[in-house]
Each structure stands twice: as C-alpha cells, then as structure tokens.
Structure 1
C-alpha cells in the first residue's frame, strides 16, 4: 500500500513541481520537504493540506495523512495496553511467595525503573505491589517488627502512583496518591519519606499553576529535614526556587538555588532509596534550569541554560540507573526556552531536536505543556521573519497535536 511520503512525492511529480517549488507552497524549506517525502520526519497536517491544494490531489493527501495518523495512534494505544498487561502478569506471577525482603526489592526496582519507563506500566506494577502490601497490613500476616517497613513500602508505592498519575496529566489523582504516601510516612514515623511527600505535593501544585499553595507545601516540608541526612533539603530548596521564580522573585529564587548547593555539600548520609526517590546532582541542575526560565531572561536565562546543559551532560555520562529519560528530555526543552530568551533561535531548535522525534507513548504531560510554551515564544512577532522559528513552532504543533 502506498504510504503518505510516497503519495506526497507522486503527487508532486505528477504536478511537475520540484522540491523547491512545492516548498514555497507549504512554507517549509526544501530540506524539510525532502525529509517529509522520505519519511525521515513526520509531516505536519498543515503541510499535507497545503501540498494537497498545490498539487491538485483533491483531498487524497489529506485523507492518507489522517488514515496513517489514526493508525499510529491505535498502534501506540495497543503498545501501552500490551506493556501494562505484561508487566502486571509478571508481577502477579512473582507475588505468590513474596516475603518482606522481596517486597522491598520490588519497591527499589520500581523506583529505579520509573526513571526510564513510560508511566502506565509503572502504575500497574506499583498498584500490584501496593495491593500486596496493604493486604499484609490489613490481614496482620507479618511480624510486628515489619509493620513500619510495610508502611514505608506502601508509602513509596503510593509515591510512584502519584508521579505516574501526574505524568499522565491527572493532577487531582496524583494529589490523592501523595496524601496516601504522607499518611503512610506518618504511620511509619519516616521523616525522609515525609519530606519527599511534601516536595511531591508542591510539584503537583506547581503543575496546576498554584504557586502560593506549592510554596506552603515546600515550607511545611522543612520540619522533616535532618541535618546532613539525604537530599531532602536540597530538593525542597529547589522546589521553593521554582515557586519563587514563577512568582517573579529572581533574587529569592537564585538564593534558594544557592542554598540547595550548600545543603548538598552538608550531606553526610545518602538517601535510603534512589531512583525517583533520590535527588541526584543532575536532577538539582535540572530543577535550577526549570526554575529560572520563568523569569525575565538575561542573567537568569544564562544560568538556566548552563544548568540545563549540565543536567543533560550528567545524565548522559552518568550511571544508567540514575538517568531519568523524561527529565532529560524536559531539560532539552528548558535549554531551548532559555536560548529563545537569549535570542538564540537556532540553538533552541538544536536543543529540541531529540524531543521532536519522540513516539506518542513517551510524550508525558509535562513535555506537552512545556513545548507549547516554546512554540508560543517562537510565534511572537519578534521572530516573524525567522524561518527556523516558524519551522520549529510547526514541528512542535505537529507533536502536541
């Protein structure tokens, strides 16, 4: 069956148009059009519509574009369901003889695997493990000394569910899971988990754009931070910086990022669990970059670009178990945002290139939200005559559609 790229080339040739001729009609450069015809880049709907009209395809190109788009979406949906079902089956098979040590290993593996996995299968795995944990707590099928550990495990798994729900765009569900994690931390008397929950609640509020509430969550969390015990204070300081930056306070935001650096230097005992419950040096630079892009540019944008670049480099060169793919992709978006603020449109397009090629199942809600902001910046009158800005904005629109 003829694919859209093949059909596009056939109709162009039938209309006796060169790549350059058609490029003028679709408002893309010749190289981009060549990539559309060879299938190296997905074709935006606007290009399909303009090419259909220019070549006299009479709706054939647009119809094929919609058919292939529907097929891609259906395939992505099937992939998600299959991955989730397989993950649950494997988890269920392994739960029959699960003891407390195996359960804790499952929690640890889930925390690490989350960094490089789509949220849906991780949600299924965490739900399955948490159901086992709750059943033991309800039934009393555990040693008395294990009760606190079971509450911590249940709290960690609730935290995984919270992150997964937020990554899929369900902030209210995420907050309920975070509240459950906080209750488990309280029952276990675990200050480290309680501090992590406070930071996560603030993250959810920031996702919702409620920065005053997000700031309250962060400041409530400081009561759980022990001197030199893990990365909790550094994470909360960075969360406070994000709140303050979004509220327009550059000086206070930068001061909190500096305070986070000092807190990291005071760490004497590592986090009890890594993965999504840790706060690596790369993650700290990522938070700094994601904070300062909400200010007025200038020195803040320069620091944001440096920090985002550092985060990307640390993740790419560091241990695989600490590499957070979603955050690394977002760091590319924050780097692009800072570069646009610094009028480096070509540099911004370069930073976005790895994100623009993502398959549908990897486009978490954070990526879509932040990419839309970059597109809006590139569409401003300031860059009306900049072809790179126009092409990049179109590519973002194709992705977020």
Structure 2
C-alpha cells in the first residue's frame, strides 16, 4: 500500500533536502501569518520523511498537518492514509496540473539563493533587483496564468523574501523585502480566494496588511484592508466589510486608481447591507474622473493590483444586481465588455470579461430575455477549468438562480442552460480544494468577486 504523499513527492522529484526546504518555507509563511511559534521552530528528520512516504505513521501532531496542507493543499489525513495504487491515480487525476518549466525555475532559484548565501552579510543589490523583477513579472502575468500557477510562484517568492530578510539588517533593503513579501502575500490571498480557500485567503491578506504596516507603505495597506472587505462580504458579514473600507480609506498615498477600487468595493458592501443610496453614491464615485494622482502599487506595479475602468464597470454590475437594478447592471456589464474589447488585450478576456458576461446574463434574465442571457453566457461556459475561479463560479450560479423564476419553468432553453451551468461548476477551480467557507451561502445570496 502506498499513499498520496509519496505519489506527490515522487511526481515533484523531491528528495529529503528539497522537501525540507519547502517544508521550512511553508512553516515560516504560516508563522508570519499566524504568529504561532510552533511554525517558526518546525523541522523534520529524514527518518520521519521516509516513514511518511511508507505510510508507517499515525496522524502527526500540530504544526505538521497545517504545514502539509499549506504545501499540498490537501489535509494530512488524505495525504498519509494508505491507499491502493488505483486510489492514488484517482486522487492525482484531480490534483494540480504539473507546472510547466517548474524544474528549470526551481533550479534557477536554487542557484540564485546559493549565490546570495555566498555573498557578504549585506545583500547584493542585484539579488534584491532580481527578486523585485520576478515579482513584477508575476504580478503582470496574472491575466495569463491561472491561479494555481500564480500560487506556486508567489509562494516561492515569499519564501525567498523571508530568507533574505534574515540576511540583512540594512533598513532600506529590509523595507524592499517587506514590500515584496507583502505583495506576494496579497497575490497568494487572491489565489486562495479563487481556489475556494476562504480561511487561508483571510490569513494571507492579513499578512499582506502587516507587511505593509512594517514597510510603512500606505497603498499596500489600503489594498489589503479593502481585500479584507471583499472577503468579509463574501463571508456574509457586510457590516465588517464597510468598517474595513473605512479603515482602508485612511491610509495615505493612495492614487486615483486605488481610490476608484475602494469606492467600487464600498458600493458592493453597502449593497450587501441593502443600503441602496450609499451604494449608488459609491458607484458614482468609482466612475468619476480619476485625475493625475498615482501610486506605485495600483498604477506603478499594476497587473493584479490595477483596477481598470472595465474592472470597475464589472464590479459595479454585480453591485447593481444586488440592488435588483437590472437595467443599470446590464448597462454596466456592457460597458465593461466594450472597454475590454477596445483595449484588445486578449488575456483580460479570461478574467474580467467572463464575470461581466455572467452579470449581463443575470441582468437580461431579470427582464425575461432568456435567449440573450444564453448567448451572453455561452463563452463563459466554454472556459477551461483552471479559469473558473470562485468569483466567476458564484456569478454563474446566480444565473442559475435567476433561471428558477416561474417565467422560465419548463422552457427547453432554460433547462439546457441550467444543465450546462451544473456541468461548468462541477469541474470549477475551487473543486480542487473543496467548497470554501460561505461559498454555498453566497451562491444563494448574490454576487461576489
């Protein structure tokens, strides 16, 4: 009898040295996120590693289960329970896809880490430059890389930043590393959210906020607190979401793009609370002329941290749907699609456009335009599994909820569309980790993301 742990370690070509490095990196990340000293001192022997592979072990004690779950995205019981080869193959069939060029990337990072260790106590600026360049490249590739691939790279960058923080006491270098760690944590939080792991998204977002505080970086703190607001209203706590937005607005140095993002998130939080007037005012604020103010996160680094006009319009369409303003939601969703098409950036069609299309379908169903809704949703239902994140999945499920209206009962088009939606969600990205806390409730309540 083998187990899933041995299969995954074999697949990733991990000997004990490589596994221990990943194990310590994951433990440090959990320590940074939780403050639990058990993670800071976590280690492992080669003997224990081999026992895990052989299945000759009971359920390990804290903090091992949490570290293994962080590394593989699976409970320790599932990883270490003996099972047949056929069961292992079945479990691997739904595991994360093998990462392209991973071995090359790991080799390059190992070489760079070893070179940094050989350098003087003060880190060479070239090492920090390379780390920041890697982070910029990752942030700006989130529209072309699905969440599970972004997660793997962001986790490695966070680990490098934490290791390098232990190797320099130069304040300017430490601030740069805290910013990288905070931005990587923010990316990891977004990936956790997309993959349906809400508790981990909260932890990672709080870590990003704390890194921003240590670095005294207002835009990163504002971004993280606003993302906490998103997570709160997704978890059915819009009052706490509104409080987080108020906190986010207090941080200095946020440019016009970041301000528009805060307004759009505030609008959704107010809509979840049923405060229509406040929501409408925030929608208007989010679409106001942005002016010249910029900051180095939302505008400079951009990518995942950007909040383009088409993204604002997409967010506002969900807000207006919560207010049952079908005409306004339709106009906002169409505006998002028009802006995205005008930019002619095909990668954005994998992120913003599908969510806008789902909102458009819901808005059309409010006006009993079934054929139009089916046409709008068609391209969304054809998306590959890895792009079916939690935000999009909930939006698509909201379309299915609209299809339950008596106006569509017994209609072949409605029945066909509902079945296609069930097929879509059955293999959505969050299924890799299982249902997220609050996701089922949100699927019934309305829209997120």
Change (3 A) 1:261 1:392: same
Distance of 1:316 and 1:185 partners within structure 2: 34
Structure 2 partner of 1:345:
370
Q: Which runs of 5+ in 2 are unaligned?
A: 1-86, 113-125, 427-449
Structure 1 partner of 2:390:
365
Q: Which runs of 5+ in 1 are unaligned?
A: 1-69
Structure 2 partner of 1:81:
97
Q: TM-score, normalised by structure 1?
A: 0.75
Equivalent pair of 1:225/1:233 in contact (CA under 8 Å) = no
Distance of 1:149 and 1:397 partners within structure 2: 46
Does residue 100 of structure 1 match 2:128?
A: yes
Change (3 A) 1:319 1:99: farther
Q: TM-score, normalised by structure 2?
A: 0.67
Structure 1 partner of 2:277:
251
Does residue 114 of structure 1 match 2:162?
A: no
Does residue 396 of structure 1 match 2:421?
A: yes
Structure 1 partner of 2:56:
none
Correspondence list, 1:180-259, <5 A: 180-226=207-253, 229-259=255-285
Structure 1 partner of 2:287:
261
Question: For the pair shown, which has the larger CA radius of gyration, 1 or 2?
Answer: 1
Deviations 1:81-118 (A, max 9, x none): 312x6447515514533611111111111111112221
Equivalent pair of 1:240/1:256 in contact (CA under 8 Å) = yes
Deviations 1:184-229 (A, max 9, x none): 10011100111111111111112212211111111110101547x2
Cα offset, 1:368, TM superposition: 2.1
Larger fraction in helix: 1
SS at match of 1:343: coil
Cα offset, 1:119, TM superposition: 0.7
SS at match of 2:294: coil
Distance of 2:252 and 2:344 partners within structure 1: 27
Distance of 1:323 and 1:368 partners within structure 2: 17
Q: Which has the higher contact order (CA 8 A, sep 6+)?
A: 2
Cα offset, 1:160, TM superposition: 0.4
Equivalent pair of 1:76/1:360 in contact (CA under 8 Å) = no
Cα offset, 1:245, TM superposition: 1.4
Equivalent pair of 2:381/2:424 in contact (CA under 8 Å) = yes
Cα offset, 1:375, TM superposition: 0.8
SS at match of 2:142: helix
